[in-house]
Amino acid sequence: MALHRFANPARFMRLSAAILPWFAAAAAVLLALGVYLALFVAPPDYQQGDDVRIMFVHVPAAWLASFIYLLLALASAVAIIWRHPLADIAAQSAAPLGAAFTALCLVTGSLWGVKMWGTWWVWDARLTSVLVLFFLYLGYIALVNAFDEPTRGARAGAILALVGVVNLPIIKFSVDWWNTLHQKASVFRLGGPTIDPSMLWPLAVMAVGFTFFFATLLLLRMRTALIAAKIRALRLAEIERLRPARAAARQQVLT
């Protein structure tokens, strides 16, 4: 399996160190360009006016909320099936980021909804399924940290992540399966986007910028987790090395 080439933590650290500056630079440039296009180039909507600009944050956050959970589930599957050394680290590093983007999606959705629907929240299928996604992220994070033995927590969290995948198609197709206040898909649809190019291009730039931003944060979190694990291993090795000397010192005191 090709992924096993990158299973070595040292190899991953070298690779991530090389690409991290490029990801960070791409995120900064694309987000700056996207904000400029969204605020000063994209026109107001003929119905929503300038309130439509919430879309340029809400839609990328919603896209990442589902995309990150899919990555979380894939990493969990790899960890369970192939015991990939970095899979659990990737999953546990991605989960808080996914929860943050899902929270951003819910908050911006509420701000947009109160303008369009006259209410902050409705219990329709799309909003409720995204809220369930947020709770799945929180449940995974809590479950991973609920055990004294890290491997047991990682396995329990991985199982929850895989079970929760069933919620992703519900989020995607909820507006087609049920009557909801939420509008139907206007970007990712079989017939092509229905958004005018003057709004579609700024939205695409923001979505790619958000994705590079997530990738940058994910690499940073994974590198931090690996460094912390190495420090713990060194401390345990030092304790084991000093244990005979300490035992001998105690014996001398007793005698």
Residue pLDDT, tens place only, 26-50: 999 999 999 999 999 999 887 788 8
Does residue 144 register a pLDDT over 90? yes
pLDDT tens, residue by residue, 71-125:
999 999 999 998 887 999 999 999 999 999 999 999 999 998 888 888 888 888 8
pLDDT tens, residue by residue, 51-77:
889 999 999 999 999 999 999 999 999
Binning pLDDT at 50, 70 and 90, where does residue 10 land?
Answer: confident
**Which residues lie closer than 8 Å to 169 by C-beta, 6 or more apart?**
none
- What residue spans define the domains of the chain? 23-42+50-177+197-254
Lookup: tokens for 124:
């329709």
pLDDT mean over 157-172: 95
Report the candidate in 206, 183, 220 with the shortest Cα–Cα distance to residue 34.
206
Q: How far is CA 139 from CA 145, 148, 194, 205, 246, in A?
A: 10, 17, 36, 32, 42
Residue 49's φ and ψ, nearest 5 degrees, are 65, -140
Q: What secondary structure letter does DSSP report for 180?
A: -
Does residue 7 register a pLDDT over 70? no
**Is-above-0.85 flag for pTM?**
yes
Distance CA 179, CA 190 (A): 20
pLDDT mean over 184-197: 65
